[in-house]
Structure 1
Amino acid sequence: MIQKKILLLTTVFCFLAGFSQEKMKQSINSNWQFYKGKLNQADLENTKTTIWEDVNLPHSWNKFDVMDDQWGYYRGEGWYKKTVYVNPQWKNKSVYLYFEGANQTTEVFINGKKVGSHIGGYTAFSFPINEFLQFENPEKGNQIVIKVDNSYNDDIPPLDADFTFYGGIYRDLYLIASNEVHFDMTNRGSDGVFVTTPDVSATSAKFQVKGNIENNSKSSKEVIVISKLFDKNNLEVATLSSSLKLKSNSKTEFLQLSKAVQNPKLWSPDEPYLYKVVTVVLDKKTKEQLDLFSAPVGFRWFSFTADKGFFLNGKPAKLIGANRHQDYKDLANALPDILAEKDMQLIKEMGGNFVRVAHYPQDPSVLEACDRIGILAMVETPEVNRITETKVFEENSIEMQREMIRQSFNHPSVIVWAYMNEILLRPRYDDKSVERQNYYKNVATLAQKLENVTREEDPTRYTMLPNHGAFDLYNSVGLTKIPMIVGWNLYHGWYNGEFGGLEKFLENHHRVLPDKPMVITEFGADADRRMRSDNPKKFDKTMDYAMLYHKHYLNAIENLDYVAGGTIWNLVEFNSEGRAESWPHMNNKGIISWDRIPKDAYYFYQARLLKKPVVSIGSKSWTNRSGVLTSENESVFYQDLEVFSNENEITLKVNGQNLGSQKTKEGSTIFNVPFKNGNNIVEAFSTSNESVKDFASIHFTLYAPNLSSTKYPFENIRISLGDQRQFTEELTQQNWLPEQTYTKGSWGYVGGQAYKMPGNPQIPYGTNKLIKGTENDPIYQTQREGIEAFNFDVPDGKYELTLYFAEFLSGNTREALAYNLAEKSQKEEKAFRVFDVLVNGQLFLENFGNNNYLEPEKAVDMKTTIYVKDGKGIQVDFKQKTGKTILNGIELKRIF
């Protein structure tokens, strides 16, 4: 038996030998020159008038302008140039320039001649370039010039979306040299070979290899195509062989179907067993190996049903995971492969088994990781929010669908192809007009064409169209009837309604469409990791409300059999340049931050989904906290602390004191923890297995109810006006307390009311506008208007006082966020206010208002020093002259 294995391994290695000789793939990512802006041919060579920047690929020119204080980001031309030195021996080979992705239109020039162009920013493409290369003078090299343009184009999807359309060559770029006889390199950026598993059961499985072989030589050829299947130990399982006659300068199709492989190892998220198929082309006469193709093979079968959900390999399986956008803090979408792979690992480590690659095809490393570690995937093309009713838009959409399917075909992790996300969210024309009705018909017509193309390209997988929660609209237009699965992006309890609306919606789908399987393709709530509340409210952007949201949705998904699964919106926070919110330009619904730090919701999903024991202390990244005691005699501040675990019972220790044990329920338990002034060490562990544990170090600042307390001497305090949340600055980790009314001996405001944003009843605090000139927008997004005074009854000494202001009203039309169905665009009033500010009776700010420092939507802070004596404390008075007085935040620091 040992000798047989050695012989088989030898066969494998002999079969694979010479791989580097038949096809050479060479990255050319390094040392490019880049120019942002329009250029003509003369500018390309004039280094005096055109200043080029040195860059490496992957590269995007929108790394930073998407996060500045100005609305909009650069959408236009970007130029790249580089001299490439090509091996002279490649003259007799077929050479291609291969892009993994560039957004969104690309034109390529080599040695001054146009090679070709590509439309679409999220799929791969290649160009044959032999005729443009010079091989005679290797030292001279070949100049490649590439123009990429991410300008808005009404004929290219996506037209509009809740994510940023970064520009650049943001994925890898390669030169590929192959023999003149090779697998088809011009098949829409694909491998040109497609592997399927047409017949799979627990006892046997077949695989099929289909593709085209291209003969670029001037003579006909006779070849042998051999395909071998190897298990993960590189032992040969099956062999297929075909003889072909290739005409010169032509493509020839081949098709190979195996006999049944007995007792196959099945692929699943729990055991992602991968075989591999290796296909080679041999010259029939010389037996020279001309080309080689390889792909993973996962034997599995699956089905979606309308009443019992999803089945994999004959067993029910609830699909639970997350959506994934491809950007990263300070990198835009130009990520190294390892970061894309790590995102998939984050889903796996969460306990997830499913990813929605949204809203566009992503780097090849994403699906490669899914195959390898066991994550089922749906992939979609970027028709988002609306379409353009032109033939060109239709052709581009269909072409993107074909490119996506062919490029991602050979991944056993993929089970669904999707298209048209929320396509009726921003329809054209006036409501109820004839044009609007015709528009809806045109959307449905395009949807049916995309459906037909998808089933034609790949009848082995399911199709899906993800809709926003307007059930009656999508059903009346017919979009619920076209795909095999309907996806619903649902936000009950966030953008609309309350949590209970979720179950009502799902029940309605099941009643009206009893034969249509469904997936909840999006659900999520903004969770600004800097914001917390003891009394969370819808749309307050706190971590605490998001936890309530995720608990409700996961229960619904798990408890309703007819819901095949759900994908969280989103795995990570992502850039959406047009958003304001508490963190401008960001969609904060990710359960992991933009720089990949898990939030509480991530630990919650681990506790609910993972099979291995886990204990995680919630909000452990909230390391600097504060609280106001109710009595001078207290020595600790009690605050709830949630511990996430799949263990039955958790024991908690704080500062060495055992606080006892509590049973977990649905993945967590909440302890009421006594925090002392200063540093606190928290330890949580499984009562039955103390090795399963977690630690947190939390610094707590206690404020006595009397600021003159000697037990807790006053040092500094920060208060957010018009707010009932706590906010922690990202950079300094300084904590801001919510406002309170003044009581003698303490601190607080006198008079006024918390500002309430008109036209958006959902926002419980302040405004969601972008406030320029600050990284701490939440401090400036709430305010108390009509305030009369703010008092601090501090002991004598020297203090530094800072007042924070922002004028919300600009007189401009405020556009509603398209995704918030409750918000309406409206023309707002223009404020005109003038008031004085006095500190302990002395004039500090005179005629302060819109004529001077108080510019609309800009952060203003004013600092002064005060010497307090005779036990009088600090009183800040606001004297109205015109309009209402305002104050957004206040900070007081003791100097001595």
Structure 2
Amino acid sequence: MNKACLFLFFYFISHTFLTAQNELIINVYNRESTSLNGTWNYIADLYENGYYNYRYEAFDQKENLDRNAYFSNSKPTGKSDRIEYDFDKSKTLNVPGDWNSQDDKLFYYEGTVWYKKSFNYKKTNKDNKVFVYFGAANYKAEVYLNGKKLGTHVGGFTPFNFEITNLLEEKDNFLIVKVDNKRIKEGVPTLNTDWWNYGGITRDVKLVEVPSTYIRDYFIQLNPANNTHIKGYIKLSGEEIANKKINIGIAELKINKTVITNSYGIADFEIPAKKIKYWSYKNPYLYKVDIKTDSDEITDQIGFRTIKTSGQDILLNGKPVFLKGISIHEENPLKGGRATTMEDAELLLNWAKELGCNFVRLAHYPHNEHMLRLADKKGIMVWEENPVYWTIQWENKETYQNAENQLKEVISRDKNRAAVIIWSMANETPVSEPRTSFLKNLASTARKMDSTRLLSAALEQNTDKNNPDVMHIDDPFANTVDILSFNQYIGWYAGLPERTGKIVWEIDHDKPVFISEFGAGAKYGFHGDKTERWTEEFQEYLYEETLKMISKIPQLRGISPWILVDFRSPRRHLPGIQDEWNRKGLISSEGNKKKAFFVLREFYQSKP
């Protein structure tokens, strides 16, 4: 099978589940669009009265529309007409945003909330197509325009879009979205997590107008096997996609290349490039890349770099690098809710830079695109994670499809971001044969979609049978990943900090080791002896001892302690200390730096 056939095979394998919805339009971030952000009317519908009749039959599955189905947005036709809801008289929520932090009555709410937005829209060209694009909605979104169902998306942290061309009116359109954030056992993640289950339309909503034939997808990166060549593909969608000319321009590199699509609308290419300025954390150089057809054009800002492993080293642009990291949740503690804006991303990544980081682990799910775009500009390398968390239904085929789809969506969105160097398949998943098969299949999908990045996961570790102070990585998924990552909490969940002096890791694999989590809870301003749990001094002591311990691991090539900032978690109940916050942050829920912050910063400053 030749390279072109292999490419097409892998391309369509990797997009099979995506096409069941509408295929994702890449780089909506830089496209001309119309924002639907702002205030939306909402109805909290605990019993899902607007979706099911009293026989629990879904209204959108019935042949005849019931006007009491909320997605119909019906109004009484006379004083005797019975309509039991009214969006226009209902309260409002801000989009993007979570409902928990906007309405006290919804703080703990898990269930269905209906959103409604009315808008007018006139196309710039009668032949153009229009899509409605959602950055994310947690967790299951069912979308309707003018009473007609567009489709369903499952997954709380990845983008999706639907074409609305044939349903769109110039005036008085109404977009209605049923968002359901109930945790379910077959979900990804499943019932049990350690973060707040923020519900709602949590990222931007946009109307995107494109020509009848448009640039839908592209992948433009350095050839991993030759860092003087830029290679990839461009994919057209629409009315006429075969034998179309596409121009790729990178003026600064004097690249002006024309390629021709095949019958599937795909053009793959490889272009020699001289004197490339390679992207790195020291010099996060981004090139202006223009892609043009006779009907469409789009611009992106792309950095070019290679990331590989060689034995126990991680190589950025061929040179060893130590990942000075920190883990981050998508939460702004100062405003008390899901982080949604570029300003939120600035706050979090500026704190990481102040700490001395060149790397962040975005846990435990894909974050807002603002974070990746800003990391590109700031020179912060990124670990992105699929929300396969703790334990899910490994033998459930629909659960696997869900996990794979979410992985495909984040790779599709962020595959052109130089900052992203690691795709993580999972976090702290107990070893079993079905689990390992599940993760291996995810890894295979990731490698087919993107061969330019490293794969990892927070693996399982074990104590030696004969000596509890000797640690091993016996996880069979270690044979699949490029980097051996694991979370360890010796001194917090296992003994006290002084135990760290006894621990030895014996790791047989000739691969880099990365400690993806360690830490201890501390309430800012609570002081005492270093052996008193929850004090800043205890957290400081644990960091000091842990850094000594892990520095003895010969293969250690990076860390991302848990975590940058305190974050909300319904698992954490200790009054006066936790109050439903996970207190392992180096920065408090009010934005104050704890003593351990400065310990880690000093450690990073001492690393070459």
- The TM-score by the shorter chain falls in which range? 0.7 to 0.9
Deviation at 1:344, TM superposition (A): 1.2
CA distance in 1, matches of 2:570, 2:425: 23
CA distance in 2, matches of 1:175, 1:496: 51
Answer whether contact 1:306 1:514 (CA < 8 A) is retained: no
Single out whichever of 515-524 and 327-336 deviates more from structure 2. 327-336
- Match among 102, 109, 113 for residue 74 of structure 1: 109
More strand by share: 1
Deviation at 1:59, TM superposition (A): 2.0
Query: 1:759-770 residue pairs with structure 2 within 5 A?
Result: none
What residue is the counterpart of 2:78 in the other structure? Answer: none
Answer whether contact 2:325 2:360 (CA < 8 A) is retained: yes
The verdict on how the C-alpha distance between 1:423 and 1:489 changes in structure 2, with shifts beyond 3 A counting, is same
DSSP-derived class of the 2:338 partner: coil
Answer whether contact 2:568 2:581 (CA < 8 A) is retained: yes
What residue is the counterpart of 1:167 in the other structure? Answer: 199
CA distance in 2, matches of 1:399, 1:500: 44
CA distance in 1, matches of 2:590, 2:33: 32
- Match among 317, 323, 326 for residue 319 of structure 1: 323
DSSP-derived class of the 1:368 partner: helix
The verdict on how the C-alpha distance between 1:117 and 1:471 changes in structure 2, with shifts beyond 3 A counting, is farther
CA distance in 2, matches of 1:575, 1:480: 31
* 5+ residue gaps, structure 2: 1-26, 51-66, 76-82, 466-471
- Match among 588, 592, 597 for residue 593 of structure 1: 588
CA distance in 2, matches of 1:501, 1:278: 56
CA distance in 2, matches of 1:261, 1:503: 51
Answer whether contact 2:359 2:381 (CA < 8 A) is retained: yes
What residue is the counterpart of 2:56 in the other structure? Answer: none
- Match among 237, 244, 257 for residue 254 of structure 2: 237
CA distance in 2, matches of 1:155, 1:66: 29
The answer on 1:57 being equivalent to 2:95 is: yes
What residue is the counterpart of 2:278 in the other structure? Answer: 266
The verdict on how the C-alpha distance between 1:334 and 1:520 changes in structure 2, with shifts beyond 3 A counting, is closer
Answer whether contact 2:436 2:476 (CA < 8 A) is retained: yes
- Match among 147, 167, 170 for residue 112 of structure 1: 147
Aligned letter for 2:326? Answer: A
What residue is the counterpart of 2:36 in the other structure? Answer: 28
What TM-score does the superposition give when structure 1 sets the normalisation length? Answer: 0.57
Query: 1:10-159 residue pairs with structure 2 within 5 A?
Result: 24-37=32-45, 38-40=48-50, 41-42=67-68, 43=70, 44-45=73-74, 49-50=85-86, 52-63=90-101, 73-134=108-169, 138=170, 140-159=171-190
> How many residues align structurally?
539
Deviation at 1:507, TM superposition (A): 2.2
* 5+ residue gaps, structure 1: 1-18, 185-191, 283-289, 425-438, 611-645, 647-665, 667-896
What residue is the counterpart of 1:3 in the other structure? Answer: none
What residue is the counterpart of 2:531 in the other structure? Answer: 537
The verdict on how the C-alpha distance between 1:529 and 1:416 changes in structure 2, with shifts beyond 3 A counting, is same
Tell me the percent identity: 27
CA distance in 1, matches of 2:320, 2:124: 55
What residue is the counterpart of 1:617 in the other structure? Answer: none
DSSP-derived class of the 2:290 partner: strand
Answer whether contact 1:225 1:241 (CA < 8 A) is retained: yes
What residue is the counterpart of 2:248 in the other structure? Answer: 227
CA distance in 2, matches of 1:66, 1:227: 51
The verdict on how the C-alpha distance between 1:80 and 1:370 changes in structure 2, with shifts beyond 3 A counting, is same
CA distance in 1, matches of 2:298, 2:503: 47
CA distance in 2, matches of 1:589, 1:558: 21
Answer whether contact 1:100 1:171 (CA < 8 A) is retained: yes
CA distance in 2, matches of 1:67, 1:560: 49
CA distance in 2, matches of 1:155, 1:472: 34
What residue is the counterpart of 1:520 in the other structure? Answer: 515
Query: 1:409-428 residue pairs with structure 2 within 5 A?
Result: 409-424=415-430
Answer whether contact 2:215 2:236 (CA < 8 A) is retained: yes
DSSP-derived class of the 2:95 partner: coil
CA distance in 1, matches of 2:347, 2:509: 38
CA distance in 2, matches of 1:558, 1:239: 48
Answer whether contact 1:157 1:384 (CA < 8 A) is retained: yes
- Match among 340, 350, 362 for residue 335 of structure 1: 340
Deviation at 1:402, TM superposition (A): 1.2
Answer whether contact 1:63 1:332 (CA < 8 A) is retained: yes
Answer whether contact 2:461 2:473 (CA < 8 A) is retained: no
Answer whether contact 2:501 2:545 (CA < 8 A) is retained: no
CA distance in 2, matches of 1:442, 1:331: 38
What residue is the counterpart of 1:794 in the other structure? Answer: none
What residue is the counterpart of 1:485 in the other structure? Answer: 483
CA distance in 2, matches of 1:195, 1:48: 52
Answer whether contact 2:497 2:541 (CA < 8 A) is retained: no
Aligned letter for 2:567? Answer: F
Query: 1:419-818 residue pairs with structure 2 within 5 A?
Result: 419-424=425-430, 440-470=432-462, 478-499=476-497, 502=500, 507-508=505-506, 510=507, 513-533=508-528, 535-537=529-531, 540-558=533-551, 560-581=553-574, 582-610=577-605
What residue is the counterpart of 2:21 in the other structure? Answer: none
Deviation at 1:108, TM superposition (A): 0.5
Answer whether contact 1:106 1:146 (CA < 8 A) is retained: yes
Answer whether contact 1:279 1:294 (CA < 8 A) is retained: yes
Answer whether contact 2:514 2:556 (CA < 8 A) is retained: yes
Answer whether contact 1:524 1:546 (CA < 8 A) is retained: yes
CA distance in 1, matches of 2:518, 2:311: 20
Aligned letter for 2:249? Answer: K
CA distance in 2, matches of 1:505, 1:423: 23
More helix by share: 2
Deviation at 1:244, TM superposition (A): 4.0
Answer whether contact 2:505 2:553 (CA < 8 A) is retained: no
Deviation at 1:556, TM superposition (A): 4.0
Answer whether contact 1:337 1:365 (CA < 8 A) is retained: yes
Deviation at 1:64, TM superposition (A): 6.9
Deviation at 1:356, TM superposition (A): 0.6
Larger Cα-atom Rg: 1
The verdict on how the C-alpha distance between 1:116 and 1:362 changes in structure 2, with shifts beyond 3 A counting, is same
DSSP-derived class of the 2:351 partner: helix
Answer whether contact 1:171 1:334 (CA < 8 A) is retained: no
Deviation at 1:132, TM superposition (A): 1.8
Aligned letter for 2:214? Answer: H
Aligned letter for 1:81? Answer: K
Partner deviation per Cα, 1:564-608 (whole Å, 9 max, x = no partner): 110010011111112113222110111112243322222333334
Answer whether contact 1:200 1:301 (CA < 8 A) is retained: no
What residue is the counterpart of 1:177 in the other structure? Answer: 209
The verdict on how the C-alpha distance between 1:557 and 1:228 changes in structure 2, with shifts beyond 3 A counting, is farther
What residue is the counterpart of 1:214 in the other structure? Answer: 237
Partner deviation per Cα, 1:301-345 (whole Å, 9 max, x = no partner): 2333554x3232333221111111011234421532211232112
DSSP-derived class of the 2:367 partner: coil
What residue is the counterpart of 1:255 in the other structure? Answer: 268
Pick 1 or 2: higher relative contact order, CA cutoff 8 A, min separation 6: 2
The answer on 1:193 being equivalent to 2:218 is: yes
Deviation at 1:177, TM superposition (A): 0.2
The verdict on how the C-alpha distance between 1:394 and 1:244 changes in structure 2, with shifts beyond 3 A counting, is closer
